[in-house]
A = this chain, B = another copy of it.
Amino acid sequence: MSGSDFGKILKVTTWGESHGPAIGAVLDGFPAGMALCEEDIQKYLDRRRPGQSALTTARKEADRVRILSGVFEGRTTGTPISLLIENTDQRSRDYGDLKDCFRPGHADYGFYAKYGLRDYRGGGRSSGRETAARVAAGAIAAKLLKEMGIRVMAFARSIGPVEIEEKNFDPAHILLSPAAMPDIHAEERALSYMKECVAKGDSSGGVIECRISGLPAGIGDPVFDKLDACLARALMSIGAVKAVEIGDGTGVSRARGSENNDAFCLDEEGRITKKTNHAGGILGGISDGSQVLVRVHVKPTPSISRAQETVDEQGRERELVIGGRHDPVIVPRAVVVTECMCALTILDLMLSGMTARADRVIAFYKK
């Protein structure tokens, strides 16, 4: 089975390997008539681009996106938007040991077991590089959401043991921070923690949080396509993510109902709202009008420079030293990926929601 596509009404298909000529995405089902240019997308890709600080790989990728279809005279046409990013820095180096060794913490072994062969160059299809294609597509979804007053904002909540503090929270700092942290003090501590990791040839995990505001109540489908179920799949499909939490997340398991339930009330303008938001804006899989709150736990980069034990394709035990250029922590660059996967998920479910009521269907076609 395929598995390279995501979404039902708004469908993104990504393609491409780490060291092939290019990677890309096709975004099908995007509504016609929205203004769109390459720069709208490039802004997002630039946030993901490597080579920007000590936290990221030295690999240089211009990551320039080209729109090959679906936009005419500056507007989307309702037809598939094909996005292409050339792989400009596919250094033709010697893969030596890596070529037939299964790198610990990577997809290598499972991939080989499934397909009987694999593109050993930089993880091939399982490389984090694939997420650039998601970002390109997600940037387009985010733009339409923004036009509807919906803001999707992700940031690094923690790197290793260093966590941001709510009192220092400054959203404006996220895009400036090499750590993608909204807390300048935590950022500083995170950077020195990472320096220590790198010095030891090691890597670190972390937590990304995403907050979605302005989402109306009623988004998400009741059973298998619950908003949180779709978000969970979307985010767990990012390579290094090992846990997804909604609202209070793992905290709910120790809570009591009287603590965990959020009371409904009216705001000053008489609109329905909630006194608290333990639920993270989702009840029974449907948005409740509060801020949607998701957290993902990202594992430490598996490519570390220390020697590791492993096995090769011939079934021999080997010691492996991974050279090359690797992010010592995945979190900062995965922040925009998280944001984009959330945007794609939400817009798809919003499009789905347009057909939920018979009277609105009838009214639509009376136009």
Contact = CB atoms under 8 A, between A and B. Distances in A.
A249 B242 contact: yes
A279 interface: yes
Contact of A3 (B4, B116, B221): B221
Q: Which of A1, A230, A248, A361 has the most CB of B within 10 A?
A: A1
A171 interface: no
A74 to B, nearest CB: 11
B260 A244 contact: no
A138 interface: no
Contact of A77 (B77, B119, B160): B119
A5 B28 contact: yes
Q: Which of A24, A220, A366 has the most CB of B within 10 A?
A: A24
Contacts of A79: 4, 15, 17, 119, 124-125, 222
Contact of A109 (B32, B205, B225, B288): B288
Interface stretch (A49-57, A89-97, A98-106): A98-106
A58 interface: no
A297 interface: yes
B356 A300 contact: no
A268 to B, nearest CB: 13
Interface stretch (A39-47, A64-72, A176-184): A64-72
A23 B26 CA distance: 11
A146 B48 CA distance: 43
Contacts of A252: 205, 242-243, 297-300
Interface string A226-247: 1011111111110101111111
A65 to B, nearest CB: 13
Contacts of A263: 104, 308-310
A186 to B, nearest CB: 14
Contacts of A108: 283-284
Interface in A320-367: 349-362, 364-366
B8 A5 contact: no
Given A11-B5, A264-B311, A354 B357 contact: no
A130 interface: yes
B264 A309 contact: yes
Nearest to A111: B286
Nearest to A36: B358
Contacts of A250: 242-243, 245, 250, 297
A175 interface: no
Contacts of A300: 252, 255-257, 259-261
A34 interface: yes
B13 A309 contact: no
Q: Which of A81, A306, A358, A360 has the most CB of B within 10 A?
A: A358
A243 to B, nearest CB: 4
Given A124-B77, A242-B252, A229 B222 contact: no
A60 to B, nearest CB: 21
Contacts of A223: 3-4, 14, 125, 130, 237
Given A113-B217, A113-B289, A300-B252, A8 B1 contact: yes
A22 B272 CA distance: 33
A104 B343 CA distance: 27
A298 B148 contact: no
A366 B214 CA distance: 11
Contacts of A253: 158, 160, 205-207, 243, 297-299
Given A17-B77, A110-B289, 11 more contacts: A1-B221, A2-B10, A4-B221, A33-B357, A78-B357, A110-B219, A113-B218, A242-B250, A245-B250, A250-B250, A360-B364
